[in-house]
Amino acid sequence: MAMGSVGRNILAVIGGIVVGSIVNMALVNLGPLVVPLPEGADVSDMEKLRESMGLFKPMNFLFPFLGHALGTLVGAWVAAKFAASHPLRCAMVIGVFFLIGGIAAIKMLGGPMWFNATDLLLAYLPMAYLGALLAGRMGAKES
């Protein structure tokens, strides 16, 4: 039995979430190897990370931002590329999913306002839209 377009769209979105999450976590975990953590910072669990936020310099936020932005971009690209229909809508579902995750992270961790604003405004919905554009399927059954 052939999979319908709704089923394929759901799988495309799930695939986008999985791939986007892998990209996000890889970049977030790579960050401290490229930009060393400040003296005294402990990121071994969420509570210690929250307590260490005040020690972070702007460069320490580079890889979290890149993880959020590129994870969303790649996840949205996957969703748009493999959707049976409505590629932009599928890509934007990825953006909203990761935006909700970003909001939850801010609620749990805090962080400087400049980073929170930059992250929420630039890393999610604009990257999801760009992912759909890069998939080259913007005109494909969007109505």
Name residue 140's amino acid.
A
Write down the pLDDT at residue 141.
Answer: 57
Write down the pLDDT at residue 129.
Answer: 97
Structure tokens at 76: 């949205």
User: CA torsion sign, 52 to 53 to 55 to 57?
Assistant: positive
113 to 39, 58, 61, 121: CA distances (angstroms): 22, 12, 12, 12
> Is the predicted pLDDT of residue 1 greater than 50, yes or no?
no
Write down the pLDDT at residue 143.
Answer: 43
pLDDT in tens, 110-124: 899 999 999 999 999
Mean pLDDT of 122-133: 97
pTM score, two decimals? Answer: 0.90
Mean pLDDT of 134-141: 75
Percent helix, percent strand, percent coil in the chain, to nearest 5 = 75, 0, 25
pLDDT in tens, 10-66: 999 999 999 999 999 999 999 999 999 999 999 888 899 999 998 999 999 999 999
Structure tokens at 97: 């999913």
Write down the pLDDT at residue 44.
Answer: 86
- For residues 86 and 80, what is the distance between their CA atoms, to the nearest angstrom? 8
Least confidently predicted of 51-55, 128-132, 135-139: 135-139
Instruction: Find out whether 30 and 105 touch, Cβ atoms under 8 Å.
Output: no
pLDDT in tens, 71-85: 999 999 999 999 999
Instruction: Find out whether 123 and 68 touch, Cβ atoms under 8 Å.
Output: yes
